[in-house]
Structure 1
Amino acid sequence: MKLLLKPLLLSISISATLFISSCGKDDDSGPSYDFINQNLQGTIDGHVFTYGEGTVETTTFEGEEQISFDLYHSNEDITDVCDFFGFGDEVSVFFFMPAEVGLYELSLNFSDFSGRTVTLFNPDGAVNNIASIGAVEILTITETEVTGRMDATLDGENTVNGNFTVEFCPDN
């Protein structure tokens, strides 16, 4: 009986170990983004960001047609967004994406600095917070505007999530 008990306990122990270890987190835990259906908002260096208006223009970068976004805080004092140059007194968001409808996951490869990122800008000290976790989805592109949504995160103090609509300026 003692001879049977040792192998039986060993096999139960091995089976229990395999079972417990197989219940861990999967390597594929799903996407790194979760879009929230709201106006684009979040925090940048601890400052509240609420999207108000912005600009979008087409450009070419390394042979690829891109759209360049500048999204400004709703508190920014802007008379005409198309004449607004640079960055104002409030936190803002800017980024480039391909000029095509689609979902673009954010990433940053430090070995060659490739990937797609969103810059969460704080004018206090001109801090560029580079968000490389999440995604931007371009939903529509017309002759007059671009609609999309994003979930872009650097860390707990630098994250924005929600929907945006940006109009092309007339001279673009």
Structure 2
Amino acid sequence: MAFVALSAILFTQCSKEDENTSGGYDFMDQTAQGMIEGNTWTLKSGSATMSNWDDGQFSINLFEIESDFPCIDFLGGDQVFFSIDTVVGIYQLNFDLSGGTGQTVTIFQESTVMNNIATDGAVEITEIDRVNGVIKGKIDARFDSENYINGNFEVAFCDILSENYEFKNQDAQGKIGGTSWTYAKGVAEDSYFSPGEIEITLTTENAVDLCLSWFDGDKITFEVPKQTGVYQLRDYWSGDDENYSVSIYSSSESSTDVATWGAIEIIEVDELGGTISGRIDATGGSDNFINGYFEVAICE
């Protein structure tokens, strides 16, 4: 994901010399907060993924930007990130210059591209909830008097959440390009590229016969097998043979966001009545998501 790659890039940028020589740790019972380059900083959202470099570690990012989808949204700004073992426990910060190993926390300022590598303090992982996709912990990371973080954190466990979905009992609705969107009518046509699959388009259009109409407004499109079942959305790079995704097109921005979180359920294929009904839960970020029921016309 974007933030994982960002963490790796940021770590290689410039960093100041560590000025803090005090040891030990003292976790404060508060939302993680502190200072970055002399500016106050407070945790608003966070994410955790399995590390790309070590299967036994999490990569955790703490952001000062609030987001309902921290695993999907690209969040910039000053931030704190670190890798840590996937086991509940306390990990004291340290760095072995001779071996180039240790447990550190990077305190990053975006405007100066400054990485301050904290080696004083500790991080505690207090809970790993693999059902609800949440990781909780505490942090006391100190670099100097202008760069330090202390308090509690709770972040989204992205590897678990990416497998979760929840269909809401409502007509399909959500946001496209940050604007509220509600489904009106849609169509299903045989896929041009994948035999045995159908391409479904959901729109706000109320035309009498969408099969004979061209709709260029905000719309949702996806391809799934022409049979009942639940189809999990997955990233193209997931390695899974079945990589279903949802394209969310914003006409005002002339752009398409691809949702790879969630699922689509085809409930009924009524060839006689000429309709397909189903449910969708697709998330492409805070500004692009859709959830609820749909019924579309089968176009011959």
Q: TM-score range by the shorter chain?
A: 0.7 to 0.9
CA displacement, residues 29-76 of structure 1 (integer Å, 9 cap, x when unaligned): xx61011000000001111110010111113635x5101101101xx2
- The structure where helix makes up a greater share of residues is 1
Q: Which residue is equivalent to 1:42?
A: 34
Alignment identity in percent?
38
Aligned length: 137
- TM-score, normalization: structure 1? 0.74
In angstroms, what is the RMSD of aligned CA positions? Answer: 1.7
Q: Which residue is equivalent to 1:18?
A: none
Q: Which residue is equivalent to 2:110?
A: 123
From 83, 96, 100, give the equivalent of 1:113. Answer: 100
Distance 2:81 2:96 in 1: 19
Does residue 61 of structure 2 align to residue 70 of structure 1? yes
Distance 2:147 2:38 in 1: 7
Distance 1:77 1:41 in 2: 14
CA displacement, residues 115-167 of structure 1 (integer Å, 9 cap, x when unaligned): 10000010012111100000000001011111100100011111100000111
- TM-score, normalization: structure 2? 0.43
Q: Which residue is equivalent to 1:138?
A: 125
* 2:71 counterpart SS class: helix
Confirm or deny: 8 A CA contact 1:47 1:91 kept in the other structure.
Answer: no
Q: Which residue is equivalent to 1:81?
A: 70
Q: Which residue is equivalent to 1:160?
A: 149
Q: Which residue is equivalent to 1:4?
A: none
Distance 2:26 2:57 in 1: 24
Gaps of 5+ in 1: 1-30
Distance 1:109 1:59 in 2: 21
Q: Give the partner amino acid of 2:119.
A: S
Gaps of 5+ in 2: 1-22, 164-300
* 1:80 counterpart SS class: coil
* 1:81 counterpart SS class: coil
- Whose relative contact order is higher, 1 or 2, with alpha carbons under 8 Å and at least 6 apart? 1
Confirm or deny: 8 A CA contact 1:44 1:121 kept in the other structure.
Answer: yes
Distance 2:79 2:149 in 1: 10
Q: Which runs of 4+ in 1 moved over 6 A?
A: none
